[in-house]
Chain A
Amino acid sequence: TAGNRIFHFGACRVSMSMTEIRAGFTAIKANIQARDPIRTLSILSYPHSLHKVKSSDRCCITHHLFNFYVDRVFKHCKTEDSYVNRKISSIANSFLSVRRKLRQCNEHNQCMCGQESTEKFKQILANYEGLNVTSAAMKSLGELDILLDWME
């Protein structure tokens, strides 16, 4: 479909509706980020940016992050605003299909995890678990553009 992008992680190729996800996030970005009062901590970028991850570890960290968003973020981001909720579920659906493809790559040993990506993901989970679930999930959702910018 229009706006689909093919991401190459070595032998693993994943198609993703990036334009659709970006549009969905842009529509709710101000609303979601306004719910996150904590300026001093980033879930994805603390202490080091995703941009520091070695390219050989990109598939693994991407796989971890898509699992993270599906299992620990979207489901904890219910708001009182039905428009925002619809956008969140639309993004979640896109993430579900990408996760499925990344899982297939993993099953075919095309998405190997090095120590760096394992350490980086442990840090992300530590940042997440340092907050209560709703705050952590909302902050993670507000950082979706950090993930998308890094992927692109």
Chain B
Amino acid sequence: SGELYCSLLNPRNVRFESVNMKNVLHWSAPEGTGNGILYKVKYSVYGVGKWIRKPECRNINRTWCDLSSETSDYEEQYYASVKAFLNGMFSDWVETTRFNPLTDTKIDPPMLSVSSTEKSISIILTAPAKWKNSPEEESISLLQVYPGLQYNVSVLNKKTKKRWFFSISNHTLVVPWLEPGTAYCVSAQIHVTTPLLDSDFTKEHCIATLKDK
């Protein structure tokens, strides 16, 4: 006798969202489905035969799964896949496109520290760290991952509205010949030429040069 075969619609938009190589798998619930749907997740290293289940993301009802630990080797590339199930019905496995942590991550803006004298401003920039498994683990700066990493820095004279742009490779910048007792606003972004990766600009850090003695 024919076996009744009920299948569930597939999860949608299965993709990696990555920031500073914190690599999280995201998806949307199958269309038109309410609560109660559960999911399971597996992943594979490109070029290696087997799919590996992620136990922490088995029978979950959320629509994301952190695979940062499993995809932390950025010399490899990865696929991940999600299956939905509900009351004995289940969907197909739905895969991501090939994920390359090195080129497919987004980089946070740098951290900024600004100080001033009468006629100059000093800016110290710090690139964000690569995601790490635990606080005890040694921190790796994205500067080590992307040797060509640069900083684009913008400095605005609040009074004259004049703006300067600098592109620097080291992490400190001193802007000389400024007007005493004047407010300046600094903002910066990270720029990696290849692979092409740009962070957003930081919010503005404003500081006044000291008044003339």
Are A and B associated in one complex?
A: yes
- A45-B47, A145-B195, A149-B100 are known; give 18 further A-B pairs, CB within 8 A: A3-B194, A5-B193, A5-B194, A18-B194, A22-B195, A23-B196, A26-B103, A39-B47, A40-B49, A41-B47, A45-B46, A46-B47, A51-B75, A145-B100, A149-B102, A152-B147, A152-B148, A152-B195
**Chain A 37-72 near chain B by CB (<8 Å), digits 1 or 0:** 001111001100101000000000000000000000
Q: Report chain A residues within 8 Å CB of B194.
A: 3, 5, 18-19, 22, 148, 152
Q: Return the contact of A22 from the options B44, B75, B97, B196 (Cβ within 8 A).
A: B196
CB distance from B43 to the nearest CB of A (A): 11
Given A19-B194, A149-B75, also A39-B44 (CB < 8 A): yes
Query: B131 in the interface, Cβ–Cβ < 8 Å?
Result: no
Write the chain B residue with the least CB distance to A150: B75
Q: Report chain A residues within 8 Å CB of B147.
A: 152
Question: Is A34 a contact partner of B47 (Cβ separation < 8 A)?
Answer: no
Interface residues of B in 72-87 (CB under 8 A from A): 75-77, 79
CB distance from B130 to the nearest CB of A (A): 15
**Chain A 129-152 near chain B by CB (<8 Å), digits 1 or 0:** 000000000000010011011001
Query: A85 in the interface, Cβ–Cβ < 8 Å?
Result: no
CB distance from B16 to the nearest CB of A (A): 13
CB distance from A127 to the nearest CB of B (A): 9
How many of chain A's residues touch chain B, expressed as a range? Answer: 20 to 34
Query: A97 in the interface, Cβ–Cβ < 8 Å?
Result: no
How distant is the Cα of A39 from the Cα of B76 in the complex, in angstroms? Answer: 13
Query: B4 in the interface, Cβ–Cβ < 8 Å?
Result: no
Q: Report chain A residues within 8 Å CB of B102.
A: 145, 149
How distant is the Cα of A26 from the Cα of B79 in the complex, in angstroms? Answer: 17
Q: Return the contact of B103 from the options A40, A42, A149 (Cβ within 8 A).
A: A149
CB distance from A27 to the nearest CB of B (A): 11
CB distance from A136 to the nearest CB of B (A): 14
Q: Return the contact of B97 from the options A23, A33, A42 (Cβ within 8 A).
A: A33
Q: Return the contact of B79 from the options A3, A39, A51 (Cβ within 8 A).
A: A39
Interface residues of B in 184-200 (CB under 8 A from A): 193-196
Sort A-B residue pairs by CB-CB distance and give the 4 closest, nearest first. Answer: A42-B47, A40-B49, A18-B194, A33-B98
Given A40-B48, A42-B46, also A142-B98 (CB < 8 A): yes
CB distance from A70 to the nearest CB of B (A): 21
Q: Report chain A residues within 8 Å CB of B103.
A: 22, 26, 145, 149
Interface residues of B in 21-52 (CB under 8 A from A): 44, 46-49
- Can you sample 10 A-B contacts with CB below 8 Å? A3-B193, A3-B194, A19-B196, A22-B194, A30-B97, A39-B47, A40-B48, A42-B46, A42-B47, A51-B75
Q: Report chain A residues within 8 Å CB of B44.
A: 39
Q: Report chain B residues within 8 Å CB of A146.
A: 77
